[in-house]
Amino acid sequence: MFHGKSVVLIGFMGAGKTSLGKAAARTLHIPFLDTDDMIEQAEGMSINEIFAKKGEAYFREAETRTLQELADRPDRFVLSVGGGMPLREENRPLLRKAGCVIYLNPGIDALEERLRYDTQRPLLRQGEGTLYEKIERILQVRDPLYREAADVMIDNGKESFMETVNRIVSLVS
Ligand code: S3P
């Protein structure tokens, strides 16, 4: 159904979009792209610095602009987007235009485990409560939007890394 399409990975911070995306791209022999990396390069600043110096609204504008360019690209790629990308309504059709949209959803326990020592995600460094509570609170709002944006959802909480890679690859092969 998605034969020959690009892959677009969405999901919460720590869901595995970047690491799984890189491995899937290697297997498919196509480039791996990441909107956070592209924005950091264009701005000459880390995501943390962009949030601190220019604010979240500026970052969200940069995300939409970057996605627009990618959606128009004729070549095939694996794309990982920031966890907040599917939130803007205008971004959701652009994600679909860019490729087969896969929602990586490993569950809160796995997310908490992977994000425990993170210092690079500004959204998890602000607000009240434990890390688990923050993830739960943000995910409650985002999960329906991730589902709406996605063609396919993969629960990658229990399966091995390579099993997930193979599932992603076979969807577009
Ligand atoms: C964000 C996720 C981050 C990054 C920024 C905001 C979010 O990307 O874009 O910190 O709103 O969920 P990852 O999902 O790759 O961590």
User: What is the number of the ligand 1 atom nearest to the C-alpha of 48?
Assistant: 10
Q: Ligand 1 centroid to 75 CA: how many Å?
A: 25
At 5, the amino acid letter reads: K
**Smallest CA separation from ligand 1 atom 11, residue:** 84
**Smallest CA separation from ligand 1 atom 4, residue:** 82
pLDDT of residue 71: 97
Q: How many CB atoms lie within 10 A of CB 2?
A: 16
Which phi and psi angles does 152 have, rounded to 5°?
A: -140, 145
Q: Where are the beta strands (DSSP E) in 18-85?
A: 32-34, 78-80
pLDDT of residue 163: 98
Per-residue pLDDT in tens (0 to 9) along the chain, 173 residues: 899 999 999 999 999 999 999 999 999 999 999 999 999 999 999 999 999 999 999 999 999 999 999 999 999 999 999 999 999 999 999 999 999 999 999 999 999 999 999 999 999 999 899 999 999 999 999 999 999 999 999 999 999 999 999 999 999 99
pTM of the predicted model as reported, rounded to 2 decimal places: 0.97
